[in-house]
Amino acid sequence: MPAYFDHNATTPLHPAAREAWLLASDQSWHNPSSLYREAASVKHHLEKAREQLADILNTDPERILFTSGATESNNTLFHYFSRRSANSSILSSSIEHPSVREPLHRHFAKTIHLIPTLADSTLDLTTFNQQLTTQPWTLITAMAASNESGTLHPWREMAAACREQHIPFHCDASQWLGKLPSDHLGECDYLTGSAHKFGGPKGIGFLVLRDENERPNFLTGGPQEEGRRAGTENYPAIAAMLAALIAWNENLPTASPTQRDTFEKDLLTALPGTRVIGQNAPRLWNTSMLILPRHDNRKWLARLSDRGLAISTGSACSAGHDGSSVVLGALGATPDEMRRVIRISSGWNTTDQDWQSLTEAIMATATNLDQAPLQRQKISL
Catalytic amino acids?
A: 317
Which of 17/267 has CB closer to ligand PLP? 17
Shortest spacing between CB 271 and ligand PLP, in angstroms: 27
- With vertex at residue 264, the alpha carbon angle to CA 262 and CA 268, rounded to the nearest 5 degrees, is 120
Shortest spacing between CB 99 and ligand PLP, in angstroms: 5
289's enclosing H/E stretch is strand 287-291
Which of 271/319 has CB closer to ligand PLP? 319
Shortest spacing between CB 78 and ligand PLP, in angstroms: 13
Shortest spacing between CB 253 and ligand PLP, in angstroms: 24
327's enclosing H/E stretch is helix 326-330
Which of 171/362 has CB closer to ligand PLP? 171
Shortest spacing between CB 10 and ligand PLP, in angstroms: 7
Return d(Cα 129, Cα 348) in angstroms, integer.
35
Which of 206/355 has CB closer to ligand PLP? 206
List of long-range contacts for 49-56, beta carbons under 8 Å, 24+ apart: 49/235, 49/238, 49/239, 49/242, 52/242, 52/246, 53/206, 53/242, 53/245, 54/186, 56/182, 56/183, 56/245, 56/246, 56/249
Q: Which residue type does 315 have?
A: S
Number of H helices, E strands in the chain: 13, 12
Which of 143/245 has CB closer to ligand PLP? 143
Shortest spacing between CB 192 and ligand PLP, in angstroms: 7
Burial class (CB in 10 A: 0-12, 13-18, 19+), 236: buried
Q: Which residue type does 214 have?
A: E
Minimal CB distance residue for ligand PLP: 69
- Per-residue burial over 70-95, b if 16 or more Cβ lie within 10 Å, else e, is bbbbbbbbbbbbbeeeeebbbbbbbb
Greatest alpha-carbon pair distance for the chain in Å reads 80
- DSSP three-state, residue 139: strand
Shortest spacing between CB 179 and ligand PLP, in angstroms: 12
Which residues neighbour 109 within 8 Å (Cβ) at sequence distance 6 or greater? Answer: none
- DSSP three-state, residue 336: helix
- With vertex at residue 152, the alpha carbon angle to CA 146 and CA 153, rounded to the nearest 5 degrees, is 95
Which of 318, 309, 312 lies closest to 298, judged by CA? 312
Summarize as ranges the residues that interact with ligand PLP (CB under 6 A). 69-71, 97, 99, 143, 147, 172, 174-175, 194, 205, 316-317
Which of 102/214 has CB closer to ligand PLP? 102
